[in-house]
Structure 1
């Protein structure tokens, strides 16, 4: 399929207009590299080094074991895993037999986990023994028949199993039970569903974006043709963003396997653990490092004389999930002479829809231009039909071959999100005169106070400019007279003390009075999802009088 996107003339020499997206299943990426570069390293994880040939053999064994256990084409298999060889093996093994990967965050538990498993109709779950208790706490209320655990600490031996609960199978034994490592039988078409990508979004109710093999393959090829590097061989990629999140699945896992890169798997995305990250950068000299702003911010403030050298190998530095502060952009440029490429994507689009042009970048604060094959526009909030003028804020809508088929078994939400071929993202944004896009806020986070539209990100930017503030979130809560009133939740910088008057004076000097927060609340952190997005719904629930 040829996809086409004419864009700005000044970028014509650097950005592709057309690309050919092959009509293949996702696991073709692995098959190609196992055949062409069998001895190249696919995975580095602690002391494990696994070649592409070895990875493909393990994938085949897992796939054949799944088939022997009764898993068939179209069945859903949930992955509740951190970045690890187990995730990579099971992900591709599920796809090879035409089953469907159900990506669920390791942090989900209780009733929400049960809802995800039931909504997907998952027949099997693959996880670590670390999360087994969460699974078995709800398994009786689900249709899960098979649980496969990678035993790290032997915790599966301590599980209290109910009378009808399936006994856990141990991952190593399960693979060993396979009848060989030949390619499994299975016919997989591009139109077949590959992934159910669970996303809470603003509502908090789990819903799954239904992504076909064609959707996922298109998304990976679009991103690669926009910023991909040719001839890098078996270069390293830092895989720190969780694979269960669409950003990590695409920018770390699938781009790496498409290009034949070495995946440096990091099971934790921890902004506080910069020592292990800087050591990993020094040891592996990665060509690519996708990260979220909190990681970039923590890394680039490390007081280390060798930081410049640690970063010197990174040719593609990318950031997504939340806006990247200008100071972080400037610090990276100062150290490397290169730019961090901000990008925008969402589960419903298989990952990316916008990236800044590589390598020159775009205006700081912009998420860039639509990737090839993607149309994007800003429409008015009220009707969703009028196309907004340049720099007018409205809802971002996109269309292209990477866009989901809909929300799994949810026609009502699907009809709301997909209209006349356009995905209504729920994100407020603007497009400048040159065609660059800028995120403003989530549509659901817009605050309506005394007849004014207040965009929380604008208030947050002012607060974060104060030296006493490390992080801030702004929300609206119901107000009988104004409709909503503005509340700021503030995380203080190290050594700073609470001073509401100083923050109030700072805000009054920087913005009109209707935007100024009426209440300042101090807290230790701002809750965020695995991609670094603020969980405003959690904050609103905490501040609700009925919470």
Structure 2
């Protein structure tokens, strides 16, 4: 399918339309950076710092140990860690050993963990001490043969490393003691041993997998997205080209986005290593800790998600902190409200733009320009270098002209190889190399793309198509609203009706009547929400994406209960 590429005329001269990729594996870049910048700080973690040379040497030690445990090329090894030095060391060690990384959310409970371990066939897992009891309960039902256990305190500076266990006990109510014996291995013990010899493998840059990244599972069971070395390197190289004003070896990146989410992994972990940047890691998002960290560590790059920026903007002491070091931010994982973008730029003096992508595309495919070129508010921007995009008709699958809404499809070197052990679902999602995103949108005459909604989230009320994002954008402009999500819930008369779930800003007040009137001024009558529900918080994924589907399922369960009571 040949497509027009009007977006290329929008590119500034600094961004090439095509990138020549180095035929190197993901782990090769750590070696290159450690040789080029051996004494440069690669990781800052709560006061502890590691140079790139140290990170590389630790990764080599762990890689040799994994091979001694029997890990061979193509074996899957899971990482169930928050953003810590150990998560970075483990990531590169698994790849050096010839393994395929399986990123696992530390918040997973036994059922979710068991499913992922079974589906991936992981042979080993690297996890935190406080998560060890959870892992232990699923081992018997999986292929897991070895568990490597670490603790937050293992990479904390003195005296934090002594104090932290007491904080942990107070917070989680447990202290877990694991012995370095049998199938259980301690990270600290591994690091004390002399580095063993690593068996080298030949790699096919285009075909060999580096990662199994599981999709969120908001619709059915999570699927393992197969991402190759080429997929990940291509997307990091595209990101680097987009950030053309950033200087190699000189940037400081704020690592809040979890590495077990593909956006955090590519935009923070892989890109930082590729460019010799300093990563300032935070194991979880806490607005006050984040503000203090920004003031002290002065990050220049801050990849994030809308809920992170919203959380900072609504902190009562925001004005006390100096955020002026922040130069560039690309927001992903969910739509970025225009009001949030404008306010964040005003406070930091930096640039915040919306990007777009999917787990299946490593993940970024589109973004707005950060500097020197037109940025279109409300748009996800234009396709990245080497990336094609088209809007397809929902009726016949043919390309649509500018301005018409259809399903967005993308093609490029960052697009996945397919779903792990799911050939039928791969066939449904990948058509002749084109990834069908499931997102509805349109392209304007200049090549800027706009998302109107998820195909599955579109609300059909009384025969009208209603896009939740449009309603959310209107309500985000109301001064009392901090977070909002719109969803279609069953309605006996209209088929579906619009309900909004709202979190108000701290200290702010708004009534249903007031918000209803506000919506009527800005939306066509059929789009105005019929139901309003105020909540203290909304359900979210680990990366901060609001789970609309969880709210819809909640409503369906309530309706079912009501029917049973009436019966």
Do they superpose with TM above 0.5?
Answer: yes
After the TM superposition, which residues 524-539 of structure 1 pair with which residues of structure 2 at under 5 Å, given as runs? 524-539=536-551
Which of 229, 232, 243 does residue 213 from structure 1 map onto? 229
After the TM superposition, which residues 134-533 of structure 1 pair with which residues of structure 2 at under 5 Å, given as runs? 134-152=134-152, 153=165, 157=176, 167-177=183-193, 179-180=194-195, 183-190=198-205, 191-229=207-245, 231-270=247-286, 273-274=287-288, 276-302=289-315, 303-305=317-319, 307=321, 310-360=322-372, 362-383=375-396, 385-497=397-509, 499-533=511-545
> How has the CA–CA distance of structure 1 residues 534 and 267 changed in structure 2, closer, same or farther, with 3 Å as cutoff?
same
> How has the CA–CA distance of structure 1 residues 501 and 228 changed in structure 2, closer, same or farther, with 3 Å as cutoff?
same
Does the CA-based 8 Å contact 1:156-1:168 persist in structure 2?
Answer: no
Residue 528 (structure 1) shift: 1.7
Does the CA-based 8 Å contact 1:14-1:358 persist in structure 2?
Answer: no
> How has the CA–CA distance of structure 1 residues 277 and 297 changed in structure 2, closer, same or farther, with 3 Å as cutoff?
same
> How has the CA–CA distance of structure 1 residues 10 and 472 changed in structure 2, closer, same or farther, with 3 Å as cutoff?
closer
Distance 2:560 2:190 in 1: 48
Q: Deviations over 1:470-502 (max 9, x none)?
A: 221111122333222222112223234462222
Task: Tell me the residue number matched to 2:156.
Answer: none
Distance 2:62 2:368 in 1: 39
Task: Tell me the residue number matched to 1:40.
Answer: 40
> How has the CA–CA distance of structure 1 residues 463 and 287 changed in structure 2, closer, same or farther, with 3 Å as cutoff?
closer
Residue 335 (structure 1) shift: 3.8
Residue 54 (structure 1) shift: 1.0
Distance 1:462 1:37 in 2: 48
Distance 2:320 2:479 in 1: 26
Residue 87 (structure 1) shift: 0.3
Moved more, 230-239 or 61-70: 230-239
SS in 1 for 2:353: strand
Does the CA-based 8 Å contact 2:129-2:177 persist in structure 1?
Answer: no
TM-score by length of 1: 0.92
> How has the CA–CA distance of structure 1 residues 5 and 181 changed in structure 2, closer, same or farther, with 3 Å as cutoff?
farther
SS in 1 for 2:546: coil
SS in 2 for 1:133: helix
SS in 1 for 2:123: strand
TM-score by length of 2: 0.89
Does the CA-based 8 Å contact 1:123-1:146 persist in structure 2?
Answer: yes
SS in 1 for 2:438: strand
Does the CA-based 8 Å contact 2:130-2:176 persist in structure 1?
Answer: no
Distance 1:499 1:125 in 2: 49
SS in 1 for 2:533: strand
Distance 1:329 1:312 in 2: 15
> How has the CA–CA distance of structure 1 residues 99 and 6 changed in structure 2, closer, same or farther, with 3 Å as cutoff?
farther
Residue 321 (structure 1) shift: 1.5
Residue 324 (structure 1) shift: 1.9
Q: Deviations over 1:49-72 (max 9, x none)?
A: 111111111000000000001111
Aligned-residue CA RMSD (Å) = 2.4
SS in 1 for 2:87: helix
> How has the CA–CA distance of structure 1 residues 503 and 316 changed in structure 2, closer, same or farther, with 3 Å as cutoff?
closer
> How has the CA–CA distance of structure 1 residues 167 and 183 changed in structure 2, closer, same or farther, with 3 Å as cutoff?
closer
SS in 2 for 1:287: coil
Distance 1:139 1:44 in 2: 33
Distance 1:127 1:429 in 2: 40
Residue 187 (structure 1) shift: 3.0
Task: Tell me the residue number matched to 2:51.
Answer: 51
> How has the CA–CA distance of structure 1 residues 290 and 508 changed in structure 2, closer, same or farther, with 3 Å as cutoff?
same
SS in 1 for 2:303: strand
Q: Could you list the runs of 5+ residues in structure 2 that have no partner in the other structure? A: 153-164, 562-567
Does the CA-based 8 Å contact 1:97-1:188 persist in structure 2?
Answer: no
SS in 2 for 1:291: coil
Distance 1:374 1:98 in 2: 29
Task: Tell me the residue number matched to 1:9.
Answer: 9
SS in 2 for 1:286: coil
Does the CA-based 8 Å contact 1:256-1:263 persist in structure 2?
Answer: yes
Q: Deviations over 1:436-487 (max 9, x none)?
A: 1122211111111221111111112222233332221111122333222222
Q: Could you list the runs of 5+ residues in structure 1 that have no partner in the other structure? A: none
Residue 167 (structure 1) shift: 4.6
Residue 290 (structure 1) shift: 0.9
